[in-house]
A and B are shown apart, each in its own frame.
Chain A
Amino acid sequence: MSALLEVRDLQVRFDTPDGDVEAVRGIDFDLSPGESLAVVGESGSGKTQAFLAIMGLLAENGSANGQARFHGEDLMAMSSRDLNRHRGHDIAMIFQDPMSALNPYLSIEKQMIDGPMHHLGLGRAEARAHAVEMLRAVRIPDPDERIGHYPHQFSGGMRQRITIAMGLLCEPEILIADEPTTALDVTVQARIARLVGDVARRSHMATVLITHDLGAVAGVCDRILVMYAGQVVETGTVREIFDSPRHPYTRGLLDSIPRLDRIDDTLHAIPGNPPNLSDLPGGCVFRERCDRAFDACAEPPPLFDLGEGRASRCHLEDPS
């Protein structure tokens, strides 16, 4: 199957008073219709900025390079008018913080009907009915009345579900969700995951789940992209990554997930901090924190292709 979204050598940099910050340093990946991809990394790994760049939503001091072909059209090269035909229509994004992603001065109704009216050509009443249905689907009680309310009148969990409903309104081909369920309790998380899964299956929607929590990915996604300091350090299917992580960083992440099937109850945090992106050290960026670093790590490792869609950016994989 041909890729829905092909990202090639995506780079994002920010011009800050303390110099240039390279937030994303050349990432590549493909996304197929119906596929569910998890992008995992610590905060500051560039995972959010990469997708904001694809959506054309970087902050003003940010700039992006590279390609992101959606159905073969490069989103990065598009005018904002052309980009607007896709944004919210066939590519939707759900933002991290539901408190600030909803406009506090407008009713939920106003914020939900604009998109469908614009993209799908629905009338006001139709758009409202559609929005009410979507709110019902994310389990907002009494949606017909509550759609007229303002964001501050909902609880944090409900606001999160409203943003998810908003993302699904136009039945996009790609749904990018940035830490969508962190504010929700576990049962609701599962329900939302199921809802998104249903929509995905029905309309063959691809999903991207951006998260810092590798544990949240299992059972939800097909494939994982592990990011560190603005680069992809490992890719593979969920099963492969969980069963046989290849990169020391991925292994560290897995060790730091609390698990029920382990005897010892200590959590293993990765020592140290991620590097300063405005002043990167030479060589492998993970070297300082890596327990298996050796001489070769003074050189930056390439992403070694391990076959069958797996790859790892570590000198341990060097076949030579």
Chain B
Amino acid sequence: MAKAEHTADAFEAALTLGDVKGRSPWEDAWHRLLKNRAAVTAAIVMAVMIVAVVVGPWLSPWDMDYTDWDHTASPPSWANGHWFGTDAVGRDILVRTLQGGRISLLVGLVATLVSLVIGVTYGAVAGFYGGAADRLMMRAVDIIYALPFMFFVILLMVVFGRHIILIFVAVGAVNWLDMARIVRGQTLSLKRMEFVEAARACGVQGPDIIRRHIIPNLLGVVMVYVTLTIPQVILVESFLSFLGLGVQEPMSSWGGLVADGAQDMETAPWTLVFPAFFLVVTLYCFNFIGDGLRDALDPKDRL
């Protein structure tokens, strides 16, 4: 609020005549995003990372669980073809890192999708119908919010076993709260706007209004939160895998590889460094992209 006033008086003079060229807010946001060098760099790095992780394992001469008995615990080397070295039983770290990336990114995307679907639906319904339903639904969110989320995920893993599908569901199902809150807030303010009232006046039904008018207008915020949720989810999964509660052998994610590497780090630090580096770069990039998107879509935060 204070900032709005501050800007207001800086622009006070500028805005007296309203003949500014018509640019769509999306175009504006796009231009601002392209000017954000950190976000653009992060996006490029991420694109390269995704291609490498998807294509890389096919191009590699080794399988992820192939053990090269001639080169166990080999440091990174051009000569023997293990560019990132091998672990104590001779498995190639490069291909394992790329494979682990597949799992980590997959978990990130799918679990985020789960939380997206739950969160957006829940938030939009609560915000749109308002009243008692809204109060009840948000009270429920408050209660769940106060619970120690990570422990629940661990509990879920303990109880139902460590299956990858369960990880998607567990992480996604617990991570939808922020999304629900934000979407509800946006919906509340959107539904008071004129185009929604107009649609209602024309006799458009509730669910149709949500689908046609509310959800498209939520796109901006939701995009920002999706980019910020992905790294969170990847982090949660790696956390579980690090503790030995995530995906199970022979599958492995970056978290599991970091755990393995930490075991051998004194003798073979490369087994720790490479997966850790990939994981950190990915999280870093997603966070920068998310920040950049937020700044681009909500420019008042930058002044």
Chain A residues within CB distance 8 Å of chain B: 14, 16-18, 21, 23, 43-44, 46, 48-49, 59, 61-62, 97, 100, 230, 273-278
Contacts and interface: CB of A to CB of B under 8 A. Distances in A.
A274 B14 CA distance: 10
Interface residues of B, number: 16
Contact of B16 (A14, A17, A44, A59): A44
Interface string B21-36: 0000000000000000
B17 A16 contact: no
A100 B3 CA distance: 11
B10 interface: yes
A15 B16 CA distance: 16
Interface string B1-22: 0100110011111111101100
B16 A97 contact: no
Contacts of A18: 14, 20
Complex A-B, nearest 7 residue pairs according to Cβ-Cβ distance, in ascending order: A276-B17, A277-B13, A21-B14, A44-B16, A23-B13, A44-B13, A59-B10
B6 A59 contact: yes
A97 B17 contact: no
Given A97-B5, A100-B2, A278 B14 contact: yes
A168 B265 CA distance: 69
A100 B5 contact: yes
A59 B9 contact: yes
Contacts of B19: 276
Given A18-B20, A97-B5, A276-B19, A61 B13 contact: no
Contacts of A49: 9, 12-13
Contacts of A277: 13-14, 16
Interface in B270-303: 299, 303
B11 A48 contact: no
Given A97-B5, A100-B2, A100-B5, A16 B16 contact: no
Prevailing SS type, chain B contact patch: helix
Contacts of B17: 273-276
A46 B11 CA distance: 11
Contacts of A100: 2, 5
Nearest to B11: A16
- Please indicate which of the listed interface residues A100, A274, A278 has the most CB atoms of chain B within 10 Å of its own CB: A278
Given A100-B2, A276-B19, A62 B14 contact: no
Nearest to A96: B9
Given A14-B11, A44-B16, A277-B14, 20 more contacts: A14-B14, A16-B10, A18-B14, A18-B20, A21-B14, A23-B12, A43-B16, A44-B15, A46-B13, A48-B9, A49-B9, A59-B6, A59-B10, A97-B5, A274-B16, A274-B17, A275-B17, A276-B14, A276-B16, A276-B17
Contacts of A21: 11, 13-14
